[in-house]
Structure 1
Amino acid sequence: PSVQDCTICMERLSAPSGYKGPQPAVKPDLVGKLVKCGHVFHLHCLVAMYNNGNKDGSLQCPTCKTIYGVKTGTQPPGKMEYHIIPHALPGHSDCKTIRIIYNIPPGVQGPEHPNPGKSFTARGFPRHCYLPDSEKGRKVLKLLLVAWDRRLIFAIGTSSTTGESDTVIWNEIHHKTEFGSNLTGHGYPDINYLDNVLAELAAQGITEESLAQEKD
């Protein structure tokens, strides 16, 4: 590893960590290898990266995004409901539709949010989203329920559409919010959507293995 760079601080692994922030209680010249993916970093940098995150017991490899532990987010409190409606989505004429309803009220940011103690807004709620009531659509729904429980569907930040800060925004799992059209790209038909959202869920550490873990 001596000729490799630490991709967190970009210094050689043979040299001490170049991390300049608050210093963790780890010697700056120690290195460690992540077990599942095998990538190597300064231990100093890994501890600093963890301390700068959610401190939820999980760590995500900065090189390949492999997740160690269970990743959780900072989604504010709210409610997720779903039901079946007797209509088909464009491109899914052979099945009914799952409608998901998310509702998050405005509130005050907690210690895990960008501006603790400051109020946040929640625009556009309740938000309605749609999945085909097919085998794969039901699988996505089950994984979205896990993502909701792990607080990964929404976050508090700056809206990419309005520029408003301290507001509830979508996190990194795309949803379809149009029912009968695809005028904005957030509707159907979209033959790749279910596979794409499964990949986005997997990137957050949510897979069919997660379903088994939730049952244990």
Structure 2
Amino acid sequence: MGSGQSSDKFHCNRYLNGQGPPSLVQQVNEEVNGKNKPFHSCQPQGKMTWVILQKDLRGFPDDNTLQINYIFPDGIQTEKHPNPGQAFAGQRLCAYLPDNREGRKVLKLLEKAFNQQLLFTIATNKSGEDKVTPSSIPLKTQPEGESIVNGYPDTGYLKTLEKILKNKGIK
């Protein structure tokens, strides 16, 4: 982030600095207790699409998979970004949800959050490069991997994500 800005404003900065993001439970508790202040979005222009994969996610054996594709091209930062006028690296990212009633509900909420520019931000990585990165809303970017924070199975993820999105005004 630019000089004069706190690096703890966005969870993604903690992740980029190697400290890892807070757990989903921590994020929900911080939101409920008012510790996280609302922030102004600095999500750049991008595209969100989704497809159905004919395979299941671990923990959801009877459901197909919703693969959400986020695409952000490289660009120049505007006044709403941390370093106006400087270049930033784009991002291609996939996230996964089970294709069931609750997963579809969360997909609609994620679409609202994306359209309100709450899902991604621009942050500076360890190499000093400004890059599009997920914001404080956690996304499952691995279809499996029990020990991976971003993977499945995670039985409480959909409910927790709904709470986080609700606390950000997405209903």
Give the TM bin, normalised by the shorter chain.
Answer: 0.7 to 0.9
Q: TM-score, normalised by structure 2?
A: 0.74
State percent identity of aligned pairs: 38
Q: Distance in 1 between matches of 2:133 and 2:36?
A: 24
- The answer for the alignment partner of 1:129 in structure 2 is 95
Q: Distance in 2 between matches of 1:187 and 1:67?
A: 27
Which of 37, 60, 85 does residue 92 from structure 1 map onto?
60
1:120 aligns to 2:88 (yes or no):
yes
C-alpha displacement of 1:67: 9.5
**Partner SS, residue 57 of structure 2:** coil
- The answer for the alignment partner of 2:157 in structure 1 is 193
1:144 aligns to 2:110 (yes or no):
yes
- The answer for the alignment partner of 1:205 in structure 2 is 169
Q: Distance in 2 between matches of 1:88 and 1:199?
A: 24
The within-5 A match list for 1:99-118 is 99-118=67-86
1:180 aligns to 2:144 (yes or no):
yes
C-alpha displacement of 1:163: 5.4
5+ residue gaps, structure 1: 1-62, 208-216
Count of equivalent residues: 140
- The answer for the alignment partner of 2:43 in structure 1 is 75
User: Higher relative contact order at CA 8 Å, sep ≥6: structure 1 or structure 2?
Assistant: 2
- The answer for the alignment partner of 2:120 in structure 1 is 154
**Partner SS, residue 145 of structure 1:** helix
**Partner SS, residue 126 of structure 1:** strand
Question: What residue identity is the alignment partner of 1:155?
Answer: T
**Partner SS, residue 84 of structure 2:** coil
Q: Distance in 1 between matches of 2:127 and 2:164?
A: 24
Deviations 1:38-84 (A, max 9, x none): xxxxxxxxxxxxxxxxxxxxxxxxx737999xx86221011100011
Q: Distance in 2 between matches of 1:158 and 1:134?
A: 36
C-alpha displacement of 1:182: 3.1
Which structure is higher in helix share?
A: 2
The 8 Å contact of residues 95 and 140 in structure 2, kept in 1 or not, is answered as yes
C-alpha displacement of 1:204: 1.4
Q: TM-score, normalised by structure 1?
A: 0.59
5+ residue gaps, structure 2: 1-32
